[in-house]
Amino acid sequence: MELSAFPGFLSMICDRFTVLATFFIVFALVFDTMKRRKGQSYPPGPWGLPFIGNMLQVDLNNPHLSFAKLWKKYGDVVSVQFGWDNTVILNGYEALNEALVKKSEDFADRPRLAIYEDLSKHMGDGIVFAKYGPWWKEQRRFSLSTLRNFGLGKKSLEMRIVEEAGFLTKEFEKTKGLPFDPHFIVMCAVSNIICSIVFGERFEYQDKSFLGFLEITEESFELETGVWAELLNTFPFIRHFPGPHNKIFENQYKAVEFVREKVMEHKKQWDPNEPRDFIDAFLTEQEKMKHVPQSSFQEANLLGTVLDLFAAGTETTSTTLLWGLLFMMQHPDMQSKVQEEIDRVIGKERMPRVEDREEMPYTNAVIHETQRAGNIAPISVPHQTYRDTEVMGYNIPKGTTIIPNLSSALFDENVWSTPHQFNPGHFLNSEGGFVKPEAFIPFSAGRRVCMGEQLAKTELFLFFTSMLQQFTFHLPENEPRPSYAESKFGISRVPGPYQLCIKLR
């Protein structure tokens, strides 16, 4: 090619590139517009930007607050879009009840989330994020049955919790009245209950391996609902690039390895005729079902299920207790009233029992109000429609991601007299008896209701009453008063770091 012809050739190349780029942009915009087209009677919602949808309109650190604004503007059923993922937010008890309870199967599926895709190859789908179908049904039935066999709802489990409450109070006593952060002590105590069921053992509060596992689990809860997790779920291809998002996968693999080691230890001493815990029971069932095609009893699924049970059995209950201690310090008059009821019904020598709850309406009301005001799981875990359905008159296609905004039911001004105040009176009638409004759904509802609800209720009552029977909690002198609004949002809403002091009663 002669040198004089080169500028023309370069111009031709640039023109073609411009045409191709323009074609690609127009094609992408048309495709984006088509993806956003909705059928008739689809829920209303804000208009989103091309490709990213409404991502910039939601505060990922406090999504429930963003959803509350959308609720006021668009109503009980709101449509949004994250990337090209069609999402519907359910607000208010009426919409939540219609979808999760009255049409429970229609809304029983789970979306595939990119942050768990690689993990599922190593540990199966578990229970919490498993797709709705025969595998999930089989595993949920087995898990509930096995939890009952190992103490759920029985005196044996109650005694385990009471014993662990004793270890917890001894740890508190070691602080000798000096300021301390109760976070990991409470977390260790609660975690030891599910550990005794799943692993057949409890751990000392100073066990480095155990503490490391707890730290990884807690950090994962926060990371898996953060900005990078949302970007990964919306644009899965970015996982192939270096960046902070890789910390999510590193933590997941560490958690899997911890559980895998426990499973290997169990296999060495496993006796199918005498299962000691959940892992043994699963191995026994796996052996029985080894010739059954498509059985869900596979080792990968064991790892996933154990991780689900551990995380669900640790995080939400320990977080509720941390909110409870914070609320008691901020309302010393209520703390005194709880202690008066404990002294009258239980006394100062005997350990609490579950049966005491029926005679302690005020303490029971305080615990329930802690769950409500603490707003532990404000948006629950995402659902997905299993088939074409409708809710509140709106058409929702199959495969739509559903966010149950539990926070909207717990703070509904039509249900609660003072929704934004800590008020145990929400759960007391005019005679001082305990009542529970239907809109109280901190464990969600329907087919995907929290599997550990009964365990959590037992733990909350026994741990809470044991702590207040032994100690009075107060803020350190000259420390700023923690605010209800100071919290960290992960899969659960955790109070911001705070310190407290204890006084032996």
> 3-state DSSP call for residue 255?
helix
Q: What confidence tens digit (pLDDT) does each residue in 445-496 have?
A: 999 999 889 999 999 999 999 999 999 999 998 776 666 556 666 678 889 8
Kindly state the average pLDDT of the residues 156-173. 94
Looking at residue 79, its pLDDT comes to: 96
Q: What confidence tens digit (pLDDT) does each residue in 15-25 have?
A: 555 655 554 55
Q: How far apart (Å, rounded) are the C-alpha atoms in residues 355 and 344?
A: 14
Kindly state the average pLDDT of the residues 412-435. 95
Question: Strand 401-404 relative to strand 85-90: parallel, antiparallel, unpaired?
Answer: parallel
Q: What confidence tens digit (pLDDT) does each residue in 463-472 have?
A: 999 999 999 9
Looking at residue 149, its pLDDT comes to: 83
How remote is the C-alpha of 248 from its chain's centroid? Answer: 16
| Sheet hosting strand 77-82, strand order edge to edge | 77-82, 85-90, 401-404, 383-384
Domain ranges of the chain: 38-504
Looking at residue 35, its pLDDT comes to: 52
Torsion on CA atoms 162, 167, 173, 178, rounded to nearest 10? -110
Partners of 86 in beta bridges: 81
The set of residues, in sequence order, having a beta carbon less than 8 Å from that of 245 and lying 6+ positions away, is 228, 229, 231, 232, 238, 239
Q: What confidence tens digit (pLDDT) does each residue in 51-89 have?
A: 788 988 888 778 889 999 999 999 999 999 988 789 999
pLDDT above 50 (res 27) = no
Share of the chain above pLDDT 90, in %: 60
107 against 64, higher pLDDT: 107
The model's pTM is 0.89
Matching CATH number, 38-504, of 3.40.50.300, 3.30.390.10, 1.10.630.10, 2.60.40.10: 1.10.630.10
Choice among 154-168, 238-252, 311-325 with the minimum mean pLDDT: 238-252
Looking at residue 364, its pLDDT comes to: 98
For residues 81 and 36, the answer to whether their CB atoms sit within 8 Å is yes
Looking at residue 486, its pLDDT comes to: 60
Partners of 78 in beta bridges: 89
Looking at residue 485, its pLDDT comes to: 52
Q: How far apart (Å, rounded) are the C-alpha atoms in residues 492 and 475?
A: 24
Task: Tell me which residue of 387, 385, 397, 398 sits closest to 107, measured CA to CA.
Answer: 385
